[in-house]
A and B are shown apart, each in its own frame.
Chain A
Amino acid sequence: MYHTLLNSPVSAETQMLLPTVETMVGVLYFGLFAISFDFISGYTGYLSFGHAVFYGTGAYTVILIANGKLPLLGPGTPFMLSLLVGGLIAIALAILVGLVSFRLSGVYFAMITLGFAQVFYVFVRGWDYVATNPRDGPAVGPSHAEGFQIGAPGIDQLSLSIGVLTGDEVALLGSTLSGTEVSYYMIGLVVLVCYFAMQRVIHSPFGRVMIAVRENEERAVAIGYNTYLYKLGAFAISGFFAAVAGGLFAGFKRSASPENSFYFLVTGDALLASIIGGFGTLAGSLYGHLFDETVREFLSKAGQGGGLLPYLRALLGQETLDATLVGETTIGGLIDLLLNGHASLYVGLVFVLFVLYVPDGLLGTLRARVGGTFADALPAKLWGDSE
């Protein structure tokens, strides 16, 4: 699709407006992390501000297994199993953290989870077992040179490798999918399965209790639910999927650093995604992160997919760019100053506006407009109400 558009007459506009495939892979796995964050924070109302610790756990587990640094599991362990192991470690961690943290609520809960996550962040940053330079984080070493495979473990025909350089290329219907595109679909598959699993939990009686906790915890207790156990369970599930997301991230990037896995601002990005997408809508978080990344790439040079800056440069031409505005400032200099790598400014502004004026987020607002989820509303609109 992307390539078709790139070869079309609107190629310059496409390159400006749409994020690259590599960014889209990032949207998928980080979107899953944001969904798992929304699962606990949006549905039980307990803001898990240290959620990055699970993401980091998943990422580090995958890399450590690939480097043969985890006992019992050699470098040859299938990637799917590594994901699962990372998830299980995260569940154990979530239960340990949750046992203590769920005695608190409100701001205190957010702060104690933040505290735990930062303890792990500082610890991992200083622990030289995980990497030769723990501050920069580990990378997948030569003991695992081939790409990580997603699919049925052990059966080559049912698995495909992911990664920018190590991904499999697939010939399909006369066109070739590059390694990055294959990664996109394979990671997308895992994300989709995880999303459906979480969706299933939300719509089960267990999920109803989670929502009851958010709406009125005292009443849920009065009815007879042991909310402590439910919260702990939800936290463990959420931690599991956050670790899977982290594992996918590490599997695709083949390296991780404390700053992009364990740090509290990683949780902040997930928070951003869930708010823009719609808090307590699950799928909204993915769209929120998509929106976030699109805006970022559109407004900054950082993503190599183009964006507004190169487009404007090409469109305006050198003479316009060199024209002076005030004093020595040229138009080109001004554009450079405002657009080069300052996407956070605009994302922040959009975010503030969302909090102020669209508190339900993208998906939440749309759902409110059509009066229910799209799955319910669309058939009703097309074929008329059955009632």
Chain B
Amino acid sequence: MILEALAEFLTLGELGGVIVNGLAKSALYVMIASGLTLIFGLMGVLNFAHGSLTMVGAYLGGLLMVVTVTGGTAPITRLGLFFIAIVVVFALLTVLGGAIETTIIRPLYDRPPIYQILLTFGLTLVIEEIVRIVLGIYDLQPLSDWQAALATKPQFLREPVALGPVSAGWLSLFQILLGTITVVSIWAFLTKTRYGLYIRAGSEDTEMASALGIDVRQVFTVVFALGIGLAGAAGTLLMWDPTWGASVPLAAETLLPAFIVVIVGGLGTFRGTVVAALVVGMADAVTTWWFQNVIEFTGLPELVLFLVLVVTLIVRPQGLFGVEEVGGH
């Protein structure tokens, strides 16, 4: 039975479908995790509030779409509005991130790193309850996906598309596109701009960077703000995906995979995060296929994600591309 399933798995149609799905998942993972990895790489702050802010981004993005889209809006207009929504959410959360960093994270830099974990953990409690209160005002269910936001998705994104023998969803292709845009723009920002140079210098050696005249405190604020902005943008994208959707538990659902991706890639390397997102996304897609077709164990994909984490840490403790010193080795 296993062999038959394996033969079916290896046919071009099935395998191609799994690969496209895997790429789409990788794109989502890289969007969720890139903000986290930027913040950790430079500042050594493991931001537990990242998932909550992704969730806030999902709701904000959903809100913008629900307000602007009506039943008769054309698909192209909807896509255009979606891109505007992503940019607006990114901007809003960047401001929020900057505010958080300057007011409550900054006093903690000279304390042991555990206090930053604790602080951001407390922040998640506050953010989630505020979201619940706001949802309560508008009579939305915090635990189930926000259907009105899902409904703003243009019809064609729900339909499959045939790429030769492979059948894939338009939504997957859309996610891959956005993931690629994110990776390329972060990469360009880090390597082609002066500010990116500051960030890389700061990640490598904060003291040396400040000795060379870089205002490291300001760089910290900017990176934290941008990282939070990325979390929000990722949330907006997830809002349209029926397997995620805007809901309060989205915070924990995204936080754990984001941690896995960041740790597997190695703390503080953007390249590692991208590769790890690919690995984790593919592992997720492959196990999801096996779970749907052969093995009946509901938690299989989730189980495998954590096994990837555990095995990576056993075999290569600093992660795929990590540097030994980062993260307290």
Contact = CB atoms under 8 A, between A and B. Distances in A.
B174 interface: no
Given A106-B329, A351-B122, A126 B298 contact: yes
For the complex, would chain B's binding face be called helix, strand, loop or mixed by DSSP majority?
A: helix
A108 B129 contact: no
Contact of A349 (B113, B126, B267, B309): B126
A268 B121 contact: yes
B113 A126 contact: no
B328 A107 contact: yes
A51 to B, nearest CB: 14
Interface string B42-66: 0000100000000000000000000
B329 A123 contact: no
B133 A107 contact: no
A104 interface: yes
A20 interface: no
A111 to B, nearest CB: 5
Interface in A226-271: 264-265, 268, 271
A337 B298 CA distance: 37
Contacts of B302: 118, 122
B125 A104 contact: no
A123 B301 CA distance: 11
Contacts of B119: 352, 355-356
A114 B260 CA distance: 10
Interface in A287-346: 337-338, 342, 344-345
Contact of A108 (B111, B133, B136, B328): B328
A104 B121 contact: no
A294 B306 CA distance: 35
B107 A356 contact: yes
B118 A342 contact: no
A93 B46 CA distance: 27
Contacts of B317: 103-104, 108
B299 A104 contact: no
A111 B328 CA distance: 12
B309 A111 contact: yes
A245 B211 CA distance: 51
Nearest to B256: A118
A372 interface: no
Contacts of A268: 121
A126 B297 CA distance: 6
A115 interface: yes
B118 A348 contact: no
B299 A351 contact: no
Contacts of A103: 314, 317
Given A104-B317, A106-B113, A114-B259, A122 B122 contact: no
A52 interface: no
A337 B104 CA distance: 27
B323 interface: no
Contact of B123 (A110, A352, A359): A352
A111 B259 contact: yes
Given A111-B309, A271-B118, A271-B121, A359 B111 contact: yes
A301 to B, nearest CB: 13
Contacts of B104: 352, 356
A206 B294 CA distance: 50
Nearest to B116: A355
Interface in A353-387: 355-356, 359
Interface in A81-127: 100, 103-108, 110-112, 114-116, 118-119, 122-123, 125-126
A47 interface: yes
B130 A345 contact: yes
B126 A112 contact: no
Given A119-B310, A122-B299, A126-B299, A265 B252 contact: yes
A355 B118 CA distance: 7
B298 A348 contact: no
Contacts of A110: 117
Interface in A175-195: none
B310 A104 contact: no
Contact of B299 (A112, A115, A123): A123
A175 to B, nearest CB: 40
Contacts of B113: 106-107
B313 A104 contact: yes
A201 interface: no
A348 B256 contact: no
A349 B119 CA distance: 10
Nearest to B262: A111
Contacts of A47: 114, 117
A139 interface: no
Nearest to A343: B129
Interface in B287-319: 297-300, 302-303, 306-307, 309-310, 313-314, 317-318
Given A123-B303, A337-B133, A348 B122 contact: yes
B324 to A, nearest CB: 11
Interface string B132-163: 11001100000000000000000000000000
Nearest to A125: B299
B310 A116 contact: yes
Contacts of A35: none
B306 A118 contact: yes
B252 A115 contact: no
B136 A115 contact: no
A347 interface: yes
A359 B107 CA distance: 12
A68 B76 CA distance: 61
B84 interface: no
B203 interface: no
A123 B136 CA distance: 34
Given A272-B121, A345-B126, A355-B118, 18 more contacts: A106-B113, A106-B328, A107-B113, A107-B263, A111-B259, A114-B259, A115-B313, A118-B256, A118-B306, A271-B118, A342-B132, A342-B133, A351-B125, A352-B122, A352-B123, A355-B108, A356-B119, A359-B111
Interface of A: 47, 100, 103-108, 110-112, 114-116, 118-119, 122-123, 125-126, 264-265, 268, 271-272, 275, 337-338, 342, 344-345, 347-349, 351-352, 355-356, 359
9 contacts: A107-B113, A108-B318, A108-B327, A108-B328, A112-B309, A122-B302, A126-B299, A345-B133, A348-B129
